[in-house]
Structure 1
Protein backbone atom coordinates (compact mmCIF):
# COMPACT_ATOMS: atom_id res chain seq x y z
CA UNK A 1 0.00 0.00 0.00
CA UNK A 2 2.80 2.42 0.91
CA UNK A 3 4.60 1.73 -2.37
CA UNK A 4 1.45 2.48 -4.37
CA UNK A 5 0.96 5.71 -2.44
CA UNK A 6 4.52 6.76 -3.26
CA UNK A 7 4.06 5.91 -6.94
CA UNK A 8 0.88 7.96 -7.20
CA UNK A 9 2.83 11.07 -6.22
CA UNK A 10 5.28 10.73 -9.12
CA UNK A 11 5.14 11.57 -12.82
CA UNK A 12 5.85 9.00 -15.54
CA UNK A 13 9.64 9.18 -15.17
CA UNK A 14 9.40 9.00 -11.40
CA UNK A 15 7.06 6.00 -11.56
CA UNK A 16 9.46 4.19 -13.86
CA UNK A 17 12.45 4.91 -11.64
CA UNK A 18 10.75 3.89 -8.38
CA UNK A 19 9.13 0.83 -9.96
CA UNK A 20 12.57 -0.37 -11.08
CA UNK A 21 13.81 0.08 -7.51
CA UNK A 22 10.85 -1.81 -6.03
CA UNK A 23 11.39 -4.68 -8.47
CA UNK A 24 15.17 -4.70 -7.79
CA UNK A 25 16.09 -4.21 -11.44
CA UNK A 26 19.76 -3.20 -11.48
CA UNK A 27 20.70 -3.66 -15.14
CA UNK A 28 18.01 -1.76 -17.00
CA UNK A 29 20.51 -0.11 -19.35
CA UNK A 30 21.96 -3.42 -20.55
CA UNK A 31 19.38 -6.15 -19.80
CA UNK A 32 16.54 -6.36 -22.32
CA UNK A 33 14.56 -8.73 -20.10
CA UNK A 34 14.45 -6.29 -17.17
CA UNK A 35 13.45 -3.47 -19.51
CA UNK A 36 10.51 -5.47 -20.90
CA UNK A 37 9.26 -6.47 -17.46
CA UNK A 38 9.56 -2.93 -16.16
CA UNK A 39 7.51 -1.70 -19.12
CA UNK A 40 4.90 -4.37 -18.34
CA UNK A 41 4.41 -3.19 -14.76
CA UNK A 42 4.68 0.55 -15.48
CA UNK A 43 2.16 0.33 -18.32
CA UNK A 44 -0.26 -1.55 -16.07
CA UNK A 45 0.12 0.97 -13.27
CA UNK A 46 -0.47 3.94 -15.60
CA UNK A 47 -3.54 2.24 -17.05
CA UNK A 48 -4.91 1.70 -13.54
CA UNK A 49 -4.15 5.34 -12.78
CA UNK A 50 -6.27 6.34 -15.74
CA UNK A 51 -9.09 4.18 -14.39
CA UNK A 52 -8.89 6.13 -11.11
CA UNK A 53 -8.71 3.00 -8.97
CA UNK A 54 -8.63 3.19 -5.20
CA UNK A 55 -5.56 2.11 -3.25
CA UNK A 56 -7.10 -1.30 -2.62
CA UNK A 57 -7.97 -1.70 -6.29
CA UNK A 58 -4.44 -0.70 -7.25
CA UNK A 59 -3.07 -3.39 -4.93
CA UNK A 60 -5.38 -6.08 -6.30
CA UNK A 61 -4.70 -5.16 -9.91
CA UNK A 62 -0.89 -5.06 -9.56
CA UNK A 63 -1.01 -8.37 -7.69
CA UNK A 64 -3.03 -9.79 -10.58
CA UNK A 65 -0.40 -8.65 -13.10
CA UNK A 66 2.37 -10.19 -11.03
CA UNK A 67 0.53 -13.50 -10.57
CA UNK A 68 -0.09 -13.86 -14.30
CA UNK A 69 3.65 -13.53 -15.00
CA UNK A 70 4.41 -15.87 -12.09
CA UNK A 71 2.15 -18.54 -13.57
CA UNK A 72 3.82 -18.17 -16.93
CA UNK A 73 7.40 -18.09 -15.68
CA UNK A 74 7.24 -20.60 -12.82
CA UNK A 75 4.32 -22.90 -13.61
CA UNK A 76 4.77 -22.77 -17.42
CA UNK A 77 1.06 -22.13 -17.71
CA UNK A 78 -0.26 -22.07 -21.27
CA UNK A 79 -2.38 -19.29 -22.70
CA UNK A 80 -5.59 -21.31 -22.33
CA UNK A 81 -4.80 -22.13 -18.71
CA UNK A 82 -3.96 -18.49 -17.96
CA UNK A 83 -7.30 -17.35 -19.36
CA UNK A 84 -9.12 -19.94 -17.25
CA UNK A 85 -7.17 -18.90 -14.17
CA UNK A 86 -8.03 -15.23 -14.81
CA UNK A 87 -11.72 -16.15 -15.06
CA UNK A 88 -11.59 -17.89 -11.68
CA UNK A 89 -9.78 -14.98 -10.02
CA UNK A 90 -12.13 -12.38 -11.47
CA UNK A 91 -15.03 -14.42 -10.17
CA UNK A 92 -13.58 -14.02 -6.69
CA UNK A 93 -12.60 -10.34 -6.77
CA UNK A 94 -15.28 -9.19 -9.24
CA UNK A 95 -18.96 -8.51 -8.68
CA UNK A 96 -20.66 -11.56 -7.17
CA UNK A 97 -24.01 -11.75 -5.42
CA UNK A 98 -22.71 -14.09 -2.73
CA UNK A 99 -22.52 -12.45 0.69
CA UNK A 100 -19.66 -14.75 1.68
CA UNK A 101 -17.10 -13.05 -0.57
CA UNK A 102 -18.51 -9.55 -0.31
CA UNK A 103 -15.30 -8.15 1.22
CA UNK A 104 -13.21 -9.47 -1.68
CA UNK A 105 -15.41 -7.95 -4.38
CA UNK A 106 -13.36 -4.83 -5.02
CA UNK A 107 -14.27 -4.28 -8.70
CA UNK A 108 -17.64 -3.62 -10.26
CA UNK A 109 -18.81 -5.05 -13.56
CA UNK A 110 -17.43 -2.25 -15.74
CA UNK A 111 -14.05 -2.32 -14.02
CA UNK A 112 -13.82 -6.11 -14.29
CA UNK A 113 -14.60 -6.01 -18.02
CA UNK A 114 -12.04 -3.22 -18.51
CA UNK A 115 -9.38 -5.28 -16.71
CA UNK A 116 -10.07 -8.29 -18.92
CA UNK A 117 -9.93 -6.14 -22.07
CA UNK A 118 -6.63 -4.61 -20.95
CA UNK A 119 -5.07 -8.02 -20.27
CA UNK A 120 -6.17 -9.19 -23.71
CA UNK A 121 -4.21 -6.45 -25.49
CA UNK A 122 -1.25 -6.28 -23.10
CA UNK A 123 -0.37 -9.84 -22.02
CA UNK A 124 -2.52 -12.39 -23.83
CA UNK A 125 -2.07 -10.89 -27.28
CA UNK A 126 1.74 -11.14 -26.87
CA UNK A 127 1.79 -14.33 -24.82
CA UNK A 128 4.18 -16.12 -27.17
CA UNK A 129 6.67 -13.28 -26.87
CA UNK A 130 6.64 -13.49 -23.08
CA UNK A 131 7.16 -17.26 -23.35
CA UNK A 132 10.15 -16.59 -25.57
CA UNK A 133 11.43 -14.05 -23.04
CA UNK A 134 11.41 -16.53 -20.16
CA UNK A 135 12.23 -19.86 -21.80
CA UNK A 136 14.39 -19.16 -24.87
CA UNK A 137 18.13 -18.83 -24.49
CA UNK A 138 19.71 -15.98 -26.37
CA UNK A 139 23.26 -15.88 -27.63
CA UNK A 140 25.49 -13.09 -26.49
CA UNK A 141 26.37 -11.01 -29.53
CA UNK A 142 29.72 -9.25 -29.41
CA UNK A 143 29.92 -6.45 -31.94
CA UNK A 144 33.42 -5.71 -33.14
CA UNK A 145 35.76 -5.67 -36.08
CA UNK A 146 39.39 -6.46 -36.71
CA UNK A 147 41.47 -4.30 -39.01
CA UNK A 148 44.97 -5.00 -40.34
CA UNK A 149 47.03 -1.93 -41.26
CA UNK A 150 50.11 -2.29 -43.43
CA UNK A 151 52.75 0.33 -42.65
CA UNK A 152 54.96 1.53 -45.50
CA UNK A 153 58.42 0.07 -45.07
CA UNK A 154 61.71 1.91 -45.40
CA UNK A 155 63.33 2.64 -48.76
CA UNK A 156 65.59 -0.41 -48.41
CA UNK A 157 62.61 -2.63 -49.24
CA UNK A 158 60.86 -2.55 -52.65
CA UNK A 159 58.26 0.00 -51.58
CA UNK A 160 58.11 3.65 -52.70
CA UNK A 161 58.65 6.35 -50.12
CA UNK A 162 55.41 7.86 -48.74
CA UNK A 163 53.71 10.35 -51.08
CA UNK A 164 56.69 10.54 -53.47
CA UNK A 165 54.49 9.43 -56.34
CA UNK A 166 52.06 12.29 -55.57
CA UNK A 167 54.63 15.12 -55.73
CA UNK A 168 55.51 17.04 -58.88
CA UNK A 169 58.98 16.64 -60.33
CA UNK A 170 59.99 20.26 -59.62
CA UNK A 171 59.22 20.04 -55.90
CA UNK A 172 60.78 16.57 -55.67
CA UNK A 173 64.02 17.61 -57.36
CA UNK A 174 64.27 20.89 -55.42
CA UNK A 175 63.45 19.85 -51.85
CA UNK A 176 63.46 16.03 -51.61
CA UNK A 177 66.23 15.02 -54.02
CA UNK A 178 68.49 18.06 -54.64
CA UNK A 179 71.01 17.96 -57.54
CA UNK A 180 74.26 16.11 -56.95
CA UNK A 181 77.60 17.81 -56.21
CA UNK A 182 78.95 17.15 -59.70
CA UNK A 183 76.02 19.00 -61.26
CA UNK A 184 76.63 21.97 -58.98
CA UNK A 185 80.35 22.01 -59.91
CA UNK A 186 79.58 21.91 -63.61
CA UNK A 187 77.16 24.81 -63.19
CA UNK A 188 79.83 26.80 -61.39
CA UNK A 189 82.37 26.14 -64.16
CA UNK A 190 79.89 27.30 -66.76
CA UNK A 191 79.48 30.59 -64.91
CA UNK A 192 83.29 31.07 -64.64
CA UNK A 193 83.94 30.46 -68.32
CA UNK A 194 81.81 33.46 -69.23
CA UNK A 195 79.89 34.43 -72.33
CA UNK A 196 82.67 33.52 -74.80
CA UNK A 197 82.56 29.88 -73.90
CA UNK A 198 78.77 29.97 -74.03
CA UNK A 199 78.94 31.49 -77.50
CA UNK A 200 81.25 28.70 -78.72
CA UNK A 201 78.90 26.10 -77.28
CA UNK A 202 75.97 27.72 -79.04
CA UNK A 203 77.89 27.68 -82.32
CA UNK A 204 78.69 24.02 -81.79
CA UNK A 205 75.09 23.23 -80.98
CA UNK A 206 74.02 24.72 -84.29
CA UNK A 207 75.93 22.00 -86.13
CA UNK A 208 74.07 18.88 -87.18
CA UNK A 209 75.04 16.07 -84.74
CA UNK A 210 74.29 13.43 -87.36
CA UNK A 211 76.92 14.64 -89.81
CA UNK A 212 79.11 11.70 -90.87
CA UNK A 213 76.54 9.00 -90.00
CA UNK A 214 74.64 6.98 -92.59
CA UNK A 215 71.02 5.85 -92.30
CA UNK A 216 72.13 2.31 -91.49
CA UNK A 217 74.26 3.59 -88.59
CA UNK A 218 71.31 5.50 -87.19
CA UNK A 219 69.02 2.45 -87.50
CA UNK A 220 71.57 0.26 -85.75
CA UNK A 221 71.95 2.68 -82.84
CA UNK A 222 68.20 3.11 -82.48
CA UNK A 223 67.65 -0.68 -82.51
CA UNK A 224 70.24 -1.15 -79.77
CA UNK A 225 68.78 1.65 -77.63
CA UNK A 226 65.25 0.32 -78.08
CA UNK A 227 66.34 -3.18 -77.08
CA UNK A 228 68.05 -1.88 -73.94
CA UNK A 229 64.97 0.15 -72.98
CA UNK A 230 62.63 -2.80 -73.51
CA UNK A 231 64.85 -5.05 -71.39
CA UNK A 232 64.76 -2.49 -68.59
CA UNK A 233 60.98 -2.17 -68.80
CA UNK A 234 60.53 -5.97 -68.83
CA UNK A 235 62.78 -6.33 -65.79
CA UNK A 236 60.83 -3.62 -63.94
CA UNK A 237 57.49 -5.27 -64.81
CA UNK A 238 58.74 -8.66 -63.57
CA UNK A 239 59.91 -7.11 -60.29
CA UNK A 240 56.54 -5.38 -59.74
CA UNK A 241 54.65 -8.61 -60.51
CA UNK A 242 56.82 -10.49 -58.03
CA UNK A 243 56.14 -7.85 -55.36
CA UNK A 244 52.37 -8.03 -55.98
CA UNK A 245 52.48 -11.83 -55.82
CA UNK A 246 54.31 -11.74 -52.47
CA UNK A 247 51.80 -9.21 -51.11
CA UNK A 248 48.81 -11.35 -52.19
CA UNK A 249 50.40 -14.49 -50.70
CA UNK A 250 50.90 -12.63 -47.40
CA UNK A 251 47.25 -11.54 -47.32
CA UNK A 252 46.05 -15.06 -48.18
CA UNK A 253 48.09 -16.46 -45.28
CA UNK A 254 46.54 -13.85 -42.95
CA UNK A 255 43.03 -14.83 -44.09
CA UNK A 256 43.79 -18.53 -43.55
CA UNK A 257 45.01 -17.81 -39.99
CA UNK A 258 41.92 -15.71 -39.28
Structure 2
Protein backbone atom coordinates (compact mmCIF):
# COMPACT_ATOMS: atom_id res chain seq x y z
CA UNK A 1 0.00 0.00 0.00
CA UNK A 2 3.11 2.27 0.09
CA UNK A 3 2.39 3.49 3.61
CA UNK A 4 4.38 6.35 5.07
CA UNK A 5 6.32 6.03 8.30
CA UNK A 6 3.47 7.56 10.31
CA UNK A 7 0.93 5.24 8.64
CA UNK A 8 3.10 2.19 9.43
CA UNK A 9 3.32 3.35 13.06
CA UNK A 10 -0.45 3.83 13.32
CA UNK A 11 -1.11 0.47 11.68
CA UNK A 12 1.19 -1.39 14.12
CA UNK A 13 -0.39 0.52 17.04
CA UNK A 14 -3.81 -0.56 15.83
CA UNK A 15 -2.73 -4.23 15.78
CA UNK A 16 -1.24 -3.94 19.26
CA UNK A 17 -4.41 -2.35 20.66
CA UNK A 18 -6.63 -5.04 19.13
CA UNK A 19 -4.50 -7.78 20.72
CA UNK A 20 -4.50 -5.85 24.00
CA UNK A 21 -8.28 -5.66 23.96
CA UNK A 22 -8.47 -9.38 23.32
CA UNK A 23 -5.80 -10.47 25.80
CA UNK A 24 -6.39 -8.01 28.67
CA UNK A 25 -9.94 -6.64 28.31
CA UNK A 26 -11.35 -9.97 27.03
CA UNK A 27 -13.33 -8.30 24.28
CA UNK A 28 -15.62 -10.49 22.22
CA UNK A 29 -15.48 -10.62 18.44
CA UNK A 30 -18.48 -8.29 18.11
CA UNK A 31 -16.99 -5.73 20.50
CA UNK A 32 -13.63 -5.81 18.67
CA UNK A 33 -15.31 -5.24 15.29
CA UNK A 34 -17.37 -2.39 16.77
CA UNK A 35 -14.26 -0.84 18.35
CA UNK A 36 -12.36 -1.08 15.06
CA UNK A 37 -15.25 0.57 13.22
CA UNK A 38 -15.29 3.44 15.69
CA UNK A 39 -11.53 3.95 15.42
CA UNK A 40 -11.47 3.80 11.64
CA UNK A 41 -14.41 6.23 11.55
CA UNK A 42 -12.30 8.60 13.67
CA UNK A 43 -14.78 8.65 16.51
CA UNK A 44 -12.76 6.81 19.20
CA UNK A 45 -13.97 4.14 21.65
CA UNK A 46 -15.76 6.63 23.96
CA UNK A 47 -18.07 8.04 21.24
CA UNK A 48 -17.67 11.46 22.91
CA UNK A 49 -15.04 13.12 20.72
CA UNK A 50 -13.22 12.56 17.49
CA UNK A 51 -9.81 10.87 17.56
CA UNK A 52 -7.82 13.06 15.24
CA UNK A 53 -4.56 11.06 15.61
CA UNK A 54 -6.07 8.21 13.54
CA UNK A 55 -6.94 10.54 10.68
CA UNK A 56 -3.96 9.44 8.56
CA UNK A 57 -5.48 6.85 6.17
CA UNK A 58 -7.39 7.41 3.00
CA UNK A 59 -10.64 5.54 2.33
CA UNK A 60 -8.83 3.05 0.10
CA UNK A 61 -6.12 2.45 2.72
CA UNK A 62 -8.69 2.12 5.51
CA UNK A 63 -10.62 -0.50 3.51
CA UNK A 64 -7.34 -2.40 2.88
CA UNK A 65 -6.52 -2.37 6.61
CA UNK A 66 -10.02 -3.62 7.50
CA UNK A 67 -9.77 -6.40 4.87
CA UNK A 68 -6.41 -7.48 6.28
CA UNK A 69 -7.74 -7.59 9.85
CA UNK A 70 -10.77 -9.54 8.63
CA UNK A 71 -8.70 -12.37 7.08
CA UNK A 72 -6.07 -12.43 9.83
CA UNK A 73 -7.32 -11.60 13.34
CA UNK A 74 -11.11 -11.72 13.03
CA UNK A 75 -11.25 -14.89 10.93
CA UNK A 76 -9.18 -16.79 13.57
CA UNK A 77 -10.58 -15.00 16.63
CA UNK A 78 -11.49 -18.26 18.44
CA UNK A 79 -7.94 -19.45 17.97
CA UNK A 80 -6.53 -16.30 19.56
CA UNK A 81 -8.97 -16.63 22.46
CA UNK A 82 -7.82 -20.19 23.02
CA UNK A 83 -4.20 -19.03 22.86
CA UNK A 84 -4.64 -16.31 25.47
CA UNK A 85 -7.23 -17.83 27.83
CA UNK A 86 -6.83 -21.60 27.83
CA UNK A 87 -4.21 -23.25 30.03
CA UNK A 88 -2.31 -25.98 28.26
CA UNK A 89 -0.78 -29.00 29.90
CA UNK A 90 2.97 -29.24 29.72
CA UNK A 91 4.06 -32.57 28.33
CA UNK A 92 7.45 -33.63 29.64
CA UNK A 93 9.05 -36.33 27.55
CA UNK A 94 11.67 -38.40 29.35
CA UNK A 95 13.29 -41.79 29.36
CA UNK A 96 13.85 -43.89 32.45
CA UNK A 97 17.06 -45.87 32.58
CA UNK A 98 17.78 -48.69 35.00
CA UNK A 99 21.43 -49.18 35.96
CA UNK A 100 22.54 -52.46 37.50
CA UNK A 101 25.49 -52.01 39.83
CA UNK A 102 28.12 -54.74 39.91
CA UNK A 103 27.89 -56.66 43.16
CA UNK A 104 30.86 -57.86 45.25
CA UNK A 105 32.50 -61.21 44.66
CA UNK A 106 30.54 -64.24 45.69
CA UNK A 107 27.40 -63.26 43.84
CA UNK A 108 26.17 -63.91 40.31
CA UNK A 109 28.60 -61.45 38.74
CA UNK A 110 32.34 -61.94 38.29
CA UNK A 111 34.81 -59.44 39.68
CA UNK A 112 35.15 -56.36 37.44
CA UNK A 113 38.32 -55.84 35.48
CA UNK A 114 40.70 -53.18 36.77
CA UNK A 115 40.83 -51.65 33.28
CA UNK A 116 37.05 -51.20 33.12
CA UNK A 117 36.49 -49.11 36.25
CA UNK A 118 38.40 -46.41 38.11
CA UNK A 119 40.31 -47.40 41.22
CA UNK A 120 38.49 -44.88 43.43
CA UNK A 121 35.05 -46.27 42.60
CA UNK A 122 36.26 -49.87 42.87
CA UNK A 123 37.97 -49.35 46.23
CA UNK A 124 35.06 -47.33 47.67
CA UNK A 125 31.98 -49.26 46.54
CA UNK A 126 33.04 -52.71 45.32
CA UNK A 127 36.26 -53.95 46.91
CA UNK A 128 35.76 -55.99 50.06
CA UNK A 129 37.83 -55.07 53.12
CA UNK A 130 41.00 -57.11 53.70
CA UNK A 131 40.50 -60.31 55.67
CA UNK A 132 43.53 -59.65 57.85
CA UNK A 133 41.95 -56.56 59.37
CA UNK A 134 38.68 -58.34 60.12
CA UNK A 135 40.51 -61.33 61.60
CA UNK A 136 42.66 -59.08 63.78
CA UNK A 137 39.58 -57.25 64.99
CA UNK A 138 37.93 -60.57 65.83
CA UNK A 139 40.99 -61.71 67.72
CA UNK A 140 41.14 -58.45 69.62
CA UNK A 141 37.50 -58.85 70.61
CA UNK A 142 38.05 -62.43 71.71
CA UNK A 143 41.08 -61.51 73.81
CA UNK A 144 40.50 -59.91 77.14
CA UNK A 145 41.39 -56.33 78.02
CA UNK A 146 44.40 -57.47 80.04
CA UNK A 147 45.98 -59.34 77.08
CA UNK A 148 45.43 -56.45 74.68
CA UNK A 149 46.90 -54.06 77.24
CA UNK A 150 49.99 -56.27 77.66
CA UNK A 151 50.48 -56.40 73.89
CA UNK A 152 50.21 -52.64 73.68
CA UNK A 153 52.81 -52.30 76.43
CA UNK A 154 55.20 -54.63 74.62
CA UNK A 155 54.77 -52.71 71.37
CA UNK A 156 55.36 -49.44 73.16
CA UNK A 157 58.65 -50.67 74.64
CA UNK A 158 61.92 -49.39 73.18
CA UNK A 159 63.46 -52.06 70.88
CA UNK A 160 66.99 -51.05 72.02
CA UNK A 161 66.31 -51.98 75.63
CA UNK A 162 69.02 -54.39 76.87
CA UNK A 163 71.80 -53.08 74.59
CA UNK A 164 74.66 -50.88 75.82
CA UNK A 165 76.29 -48.06 73.90
CA UNK A 166 79.35 -50.25 73.22
CA UNK A 167 77.16 -52.94 71.65
CA UNK A 168 75.50 -50.42 69.39
CA UNK A 169 78.88 -48.89 68.40
CA UNK A 170 80.25 -52.33 67.61
CA UNK A 171 77.33 -53.15 65.36
CA UNK A 172 77.63 -49.81 63.58
CA UNK A 173 81.39 -50.24 63.13
CA UNK A 174 80.89 -53.67 61.64
CA UNK A 175 78.23 -52.43 59.21
CA UNK A 176 80.40 -49.44 58.25
CA UNK A 177 83.45 -51.64 57.69
CA UNK A 178 81.49 -53.99 55.45
CA UNK A 179 80.20 -51.10 53.35
CA UNK A 180 83.60 -49.35 53.15
CA UNK A 181 85.40 -52.57 52.25
CA UNK A 182 82.95 -53.20 49.43
CA UNK A 183 83.43 -49.68 48.09
CA UNK A 184 87.21 -49.89 48.35
CA UNK A 185 87.38 -53.16 46.46
CA UNK A 186 85.17 -51.72 43.71
CA UNK A 187 87.38 -48.61 43.45
CA UNK A 188 90.54 -50.71 43.35
CA UNK A 189 89.14 -52.82 40.52
CA UNK A 190 88.27 -49.73 38.48
CA UNK A 191 91.71 -48.20 39.11
CA UNK A 192 93.41 -51.41 38.04
CA UNK A 193 91.41 -51.49 34.81
CA UNK A 194 92.33 -47.87 34.04
CA UNK A 195 95.99 -48.53 34.86
CA UNK A 196 96.11 -51.46 32.45
CA UNK A 197 94.50 -49.32 29.75
CA UNK A 198 97.08 -46.52 30.25
CA UNK A 199 99.97 -49.02 30.18
CA UNK A 200 98.71 -50.45 26.90
CA UNK A 201 98.59 -46.96 25.39
CA UNK A 202 102.11 -46.19 26.62
CA UNK A 203 103.43 -49.37 25.02
CA UNK A 204 101.82 -48.44 21.71
CA UNK A 205 103.45 -45.00 21.86
CA UNK A 206 106.85 -46.45 22.59
CA UNK A 207 106.61 -48.80 19.61
CA UNK A 208 105.56 -45.92 17.38
Higher-RCO chain (CA-CA 8 Å, sequence separation at least 6): 2
TM-score by length of 2: 0.44
Structure with bigger gyration radius: 2
